[in-house]
Structure 1
Amino acid sequence: MTSNPDQIHTDRLLLRRVGPGDVRSAIAVLSDPGTNRFNPAGPPSAEQAAEMLVEWQAHWARDGIGYWAVELPETGEVIGFGGLRHHDLDGEPTFNLFYRFRPRHWGRGYAPEMARAAVDWASRSRPGRPVVIITDLDNKPSQRVAEKLGFAHAGESTTAEGPVLVWRSQEVPMLT
């Protein structure tokens, strides 16, 4: 694995910096009601999904890290999006780990594989900055991914959408 976050290869995936060519895939993944089952706001419109992609590109330009397009290297199919973004959690700078995959690719271990690569990159390249996963209270699949990664349940917080659970990488102290 490389220290350059623009492109990371795992055993089965290519994680690459999002770009303008990803708009169709972003709309397909992000606007799918299945991928938003635990999103209190529901699925974004196609226009909102395209705007999210533009925002993600701005994060890359500003912060040198962001969400990746997650591809199957053998086909080039974008099966989802995920990665790290700078996030202020209750006054503490963290990396928020996000992932969203096409439903037909669920249950194959792609989310933990992508997430593990992101956490590994963060621990090598930005040691000392905790990685958190923020899930809806009922989002058991994302909570299982957090547990598979060895994250600890660190408590609850509140976002604009309401109460959430916070999962934290165990390399740093848990929230009190």
Structure 2
Amino acid sequence: MATVWTTCPNTEGYLPLPITTDRLITRAFHLSDLDAYRTLLRDPGAMEGEPIMDPAESQQELQRVLPPFTTDLLLGIFLRNPNGSEGELIGDGGMFRRADDNGVPRNWFEFAYRFKQEHWSRGYATEFGHAFMRFWWSLPRQQVSFEVAPSTLDRRETSQARERVIASVHKSNPRSERVLNKLGFEVFLSEPYDVDPMNHWLLQENSSILRPSAVEVKCTSKSGQTIKLAEGERITGDEIEERFGTLHLA
């Protein structure tokens, strides 16, 4: 590991939440979310390991992500109803830092999310990711020093480093890899293992993909919906038709 001076957000004070998009409301969890959170933890599509069925363990998991935030910042992702009110909890996501054997956080913040399986392939992960990243980079910064993996640094960076976030995805999960690519992440390390290897991704501060919308696409389907893609966002024709129907550039 290499020790560097860099910046990171101060998440212990006021946070501009909730994060609202056309279809989602992302906010801090409350104790009153326990029943909804249990449905997420029991969903085999959302859980990388075994689903959590035990009520006491579910409550412990919720307690772990409640504010006030110190290091990790994990938020609930809810559907936004047509009238703007909050709907079903469909996932959670945010940033966390891995700890060493002594419980000391190390390396860059890591971006992660999960959704109930019934809500896959609807563009929610990309929508959440763009909104959350704009929120993340808008937070006030503080100067810090900590250890990071040398493979995440440029050759010219020794004691000072530009802030980054990372993400790790199994190569067997192309959906999440496409999401990270749309958010501007790039692979910096690819595991060579034969059994379920992972790609490790990196995004630097102020990536151009997070600038305000520059392209508007108008839907010609029954809804007549108008969407905006962030500058640099990549979306295939198949994904457009899957999410919005037949479209033409405005």
Greater helix fraction, Structure 1 or Structure 2: 1
Match of 1:56 in 2: 65
Matches for 1:112-123 after TM superposition, within 5 Å:
112-123=126-137
Say whether the 8 Å CA contact 2:97–2:106 is kept in structure 1.
no
Q: Return structure 1 stretches of 4+ with deviation > 6 angstroms.
A: none
Letter of the 1:22 partner, please give it: D
- Taking the aligned partners of 2:28 and 2:118, their CA distance within structure 1 comes to 23
Say whether the 8 Å CA contact 2:171–2:197 is kept in structure 1.
yes
What displacement does 1:72 show? Answer: 1.6
Length-normalised TM-score, structure 2: 0.55
Match of 1:146 in 2: 180
Which consecutive residues of structure 2, in runs of 5 or more, have no partner in the other structure?
1-13, 142-161, 207-250
Point out the more displaced range, 137-146 or 102-111. Answer: 137-146
Deviation per CA, 1:62-111: give whole Å up to 9, x if none. Answer: 4276111111221521111112224469x854222121112221111111
Letter of the 2:117 partner, please give it: P
Matches for 1:66-105 after TM superposition, within 5 Å:
66-74=73-81, 76-87=87-98, 92-105=106-119
Letter of the 2:186 partner, please give it: A
Letter of the 1:109 partner, please give it: G
Say whether the 8 Å CA contact 1:30–1:100 is kept in structure 2.
no
What displacement does 1:137 show? Answer: 3.7
- Taking the aligned partners of 1:24 and 1:110, their CA distance within structure 2 comes to 22
State the SS of the aligned residue for 1:63.
coil
- Taking the aligned partners of 1:49 and 1:165, their CA distance within structure 2 comes to 29
The answer to whether the aligner puts 1:4 opposite 2:4 as a matched pair is no
- Taking the aligned partners of 1:18 and 1:129, their CA distance within structure 2 comes to 27
Q: What is the percent sequence identity of the aligned residues?
A: 29
- Taking the aligned partners of 2:110 and 2:51, their CA distance within structure 1 comes to 20
What RMSD over aligned residues (CA atoms) do the two structures have, in Å?
Answer: 2.8
Say whether the 8 Å CA contact 1:83–1:114 is kept in structure 2.
no
Point out the more displaced range, 48-57 or 118-127. Answer: 118-127
The answer to whether the aligner puts 1:32 opposite 2:43 as a matched pair is yes
Deviation per CA, 1:43-65: give whole Å up to 9, x if none. Answer: 233343332211111xx314276
| Change over 3 Å in CA distance of 1:163–1:49 after alignment to 2 | farther
State the SS of the aligned residue for 2:168.
strand
Letter of the 1:19 partner, please give it: H
Say whether the 8 Å CA contact 2:93–2:114 is kept in structure 1.
yes
The number of residue pairs the alignment matches comes to 160
Letter of the 1:142 partner, please give it: S
- Taking the aligned partners of 2:198 and 2:53, their CA distance within structure 1 comes to 23
Say whether the 8 Å CA contact 2:22–2:80 is kept in structure 1.
no
The answer to whether the aligner puts 1:111 opposite 2:125 as a matched pair is yes
Say whether the 8 Å CA contact 1:84–1:118 is kept in structure 2.
no
| Change over 3 Å in CA distance of 1:5–1:42 after alignment to 2 | farther
- Taking the aligned partners of 2:97 and 2:71, their CA distance within structure 1 comes to 10
Match of 2:52 in 1: 44
What displacement does 1:129 show? Answer: 3.4
Letter of the 2:50 partner, please give it: G
| Change over 3 Å in CA distance of 1:5–1:140 after alignment to 2 | farther
Length-normalised TM-score, structure 1: 0.75
